[in-house]
Structure 1
């Protein structure tokens, strides 16, 4: 557990989340995203580590880091993919998001080749301030019908590579390809 300005954070695997904690996460995501958070989005956030920020007994922040395999060019890479990052509206812009992101960055550094996420315009500044960079190469998805480009995602897919393992691929504009899944592929 870590302590912030009045809140405490903890990290738990999906398997270790109690039913009340899962409900609290869903309620937080509904408060933060409203109708923009779907059942598919929830499914994407399961199966990895959940960093939770608590104030008293109330959940005020959440971030899920799940494993995905992405192709950088033609090379498969083990990636920590950030999903369902949210801070309760009453606690936004108070450092909760920065605290969650620092912990996610540490998890990526310890366990993955690099981190990746898809962001909204609202979240872009937070992630860039936390060391995440916009992927400059083409974005693609492997679908049942073959690989297809996802240019609509340009500028919204970010990577975190603290060891510089992606510098050459970034500079050369290598394609980044994700696997197909229901809902948003990125």
Structure 2
């Protein structure tokens, strides 16, 4: 079962379960800054009975593209417990998040690993091929190390995937 809830309505039990799930799935590579990036938007919780088996969230960010500041639904904290993979939980979590993106944002975006890439590609997400950057407190800083890892879900705004894309600033991983 998928439960869709805003951070403010999710409650400490669900949020705590999500944080523990992300720590487990990412094997120590998920920290406080990553969790902070997952908060403040809508969460999709995948439950099997009382056990949280999957999670993802979508938060608002601004992306600069072709001279426009676009409202972006940025996907964070997507994970499914190893013992529950290949049962559709990841797709169900993404379907819930994508419904939020399609109704509230100009586009969706996310940063992925090689492991996550097949899920997103199969769902219509497209790899960004143009240069990437972040709008930092010191100005625009290119982020070439993220090349190939940023995917977008086009919405109503036309996108040139080979043009520059700049994200807003945040602590930790900017993409």
Alpha-carbon separation, structure 1, partners of 2:80 and 2:143: 28
Preserved CA contact (<8 Å) 1:28 1:86: yes
Question: For 1:55-70, what aligned pairs fall within 5 Å after superposition?
Answer: 55-70=48-63
Which consecutive aligned stretches of 4+ in structure 1 deviate over 3 angstroms post-superposition? none
Aligned length: 175
Alpha-carbon separation, structure 2, partners of 1:18 and 1:56: 17
State the secondary structure of the residue aligned to 1:121. coil
The TM-score, its normalising length taken from structure 1, stands at 0.91
Could you report, residue by residue, the CA deviation over 1:119-154 in whole angstroms, capped at 9, with x for unpaired residues? Answer: 001100100001100011110001111111101100
Alpha-carbon separation, structure 2, partners of 1:93 and 1:166: 33
Preserved CA contact (<8 Å) 1:141 1:179: yes
2:69 corresponds, among 76, 82, 103, to: 76
Offset, 1:162: 4.4
Structure with more of its chain in helix, by fraction: 1
Q: CA RMSD in A?
A: 1.0
Gapped regions of structure 1 (runs ≥ 5): 1-7
Alpha-carbon separation, structure 1, partners of 2:147 and 2:164: 11
Preserved CA contact (<8 Å) 2:44 2:93: yes
**1:175 to 2:164 alignment:** yes
Name the counterpart of 1:3: none
